[in-house]
Amino acid sequence: MEITMYVNKYKHARYAFFKWRYQLENYNKVILAISFACLTGLLAQVRFYFPGSPVPLTGQTFAVLVSAIVLGKWWGGISQSIYLGVGVAGVPWFAGMNSGFAYLAGPTGGYLIGFILAAFFLGYCVDRSVKSRKYWTMFGLMIFANFGIVFGFGLLQLYGWLSITGASVDLWGLLLMGLIPFIIGDTVKIAIAAGIASSITPKQAYGSEANAFS
């Protein structure tokens, strides 16, 4: 009986969280978006370079995924837009304390653009579908957002940058630089982020959600 009471309290807390984030005033959403932009910038400094790759492994994607869950379909993407825009404007919070348009135009700029689109996509899924909030569905969506969107745009720009700088690279070489070394680390981040998402989001509809993926 006591266990049931705690389970019900937990379910109510998840529902209350979703209600809270829906009903926040816009100025509070702006504050949260800026906070997640700051978190992305902070985790960008946790970085490791693989030999032969200009792309660092960072903690940024974790912040991107969680921002979409906490802020939803619009404000998650807006938080990453703030991160990108403020960094281009000169705040040194890209990886390695870098900033400016030159960094965006470099080998890793495509990944940063992918952050924005991935957050919009994942936030839309969470807001649109109750089923998307289950762990394995969320895990699959995050896999697509991370490896399909972020790395898709990242690899495109990396290839363009290599071509402009005169480096000759085939598809396998491109994947070795910009994707394959990151699979294990990013999958771990995704597994943790999906667990957080599943634990804090309600499994019943709050508004007009549907099981879009059923």
Residue range 126-141, pLDDT digits in tens: 998 888 999 999 999 9
Q: Rounded to two decimals, what is the model's pTM?
A: 0.90
Rounded mean pLDDT, 132-152: 96
Structure tokens at 45: 């400094």
State yes or no: pLDDT of 204 exceeds 70.
Answer: yes
- Angle 118-150-97 from CA coordinates, rounded to 5°: 105
Q: Report the pLDDT averaged over residues 27-45.
A: 96
Band the pLDDT of 17: cuts 50, 70, 90. confident
Going by pLDDT thresholds of 50, 70 and 90, the confidence category of residue 94 is very high
Domains and CATH numbers, the chain: 2-200 (1.10.1760.20)
Closest CA to 19 of 184, 170, 209: 209
State how far the Cα of 211 lies from the Cα of 132, in Å rounded to an integer: 8
Angle between helices 60-89 and 109-128 (to 10 degrees): 120
Report the C-alpha gap between 64 and 39 in whole angstroms.
9
Read off the pLDDT of each residue in 147-173 and give the average, rounded to a whole number. 94
- Determine the pLDDT at residue 209: 66
Whether the CB-CB separation of 93 and 44 falls below 8 Å is answered with: yes
Nearest-10 Cα torsion for 72, 114, 90, 69? 20
